[in-house]
Amino acid sequence: MLDQINGLPVHILVLHAAVIFVPLLGLGAIVYGFATAWRPKIGWAVALLAVTAPVAAVITKLSGTEFYNRLLSEESVSPAGKVILDGHMQNGTTTMLLTIALGVVSLVLVALTARNPRALPKIADLGLALVLVVLAALSAYYLFETGDSGATAVWGTY
């Protein structure tokens, strides 16, 4: 199901959703975490992105695994290319897991502050906001690394 659509790898079709939604979630979560006055205005968007970005990351990862398995079964990958693809797969898994964590923490913060933007004690509010910054930064870093290794696998001479 996640292998091909009309002969095109699903992975190539869906990866752009993760490339768009993961950074948007990171940015929205950071703003939501620190700009308490904006929480009532952007909470719905952060909640929506907290679901959409992890779903996009999971579908991208699963379709990437299908694509990887097909490439290996066709024996069309050189040993050097396999090393690059293995790194790409590891980065993709890390990106997916970090994005899921970012989505969960974002949803928790939105749920706890939806009715009252200042409902949490300041230390808890600051702690969750800092966790969001770390998760957003790591998600963005691994998203970049995943894309870079994927581009190297496609456009490199392997």
pLDDT tens-place string over residues 106-125:
999 999 999 999 999 999 99
Position with higher pLDDT, 72 vs 92:
92
Helices 39-73, 10-34: axis angle to 10 degrees equals 150
Q: How many CB atoms neighbour CB 100 within 10 A?
A: 18
Q: By percentage, how much of the chain surpasses pLDDT 90?
A: 84
Q: What CA–CA distance (Å, rounded) separates 65 from 53?
A: 18
Residues 6+ apart with CB under 8 A from 66: 2, 3, 9, 10, 11
Residue with tokens 């996009």: 56
Asked if residue 96 lies in contact with residue 58, where contact means CB atoms within 8 angstroms, the answer is yes
Mean residue pLDDT across the chain: 94
Would the pLDDT of 140 be above 90? yes
Prediction pTM value: 0.94
pLDDT of residue 158: 47
C-alpha dihedral over 47, 48, 49, 55, to 10 degrees? 110
**Tell me: the pLDDT tens digits for 5-51?**
888 899 999 999 999 999 999 999 999 999 999 999 999 999 999 99
At residue 157, the pLDDT reads: 53
Q: Is 122 helix (H, G, I), strand (E, B) or coil?
A: helix
Q: Tell which residue, 47, 54, 100, 67, has the closest CA to residue 1.
A: 67
What backbone phi and psi angles, to 5 degrees, belong to 5?
A: -130, 115
Pick from 54-63, 64-73, 85-94: least confident: 64-73
Please tell me the distance from the alpha carbon of residue 116 to that of residue 59, in angstroms, as a whole number.
34
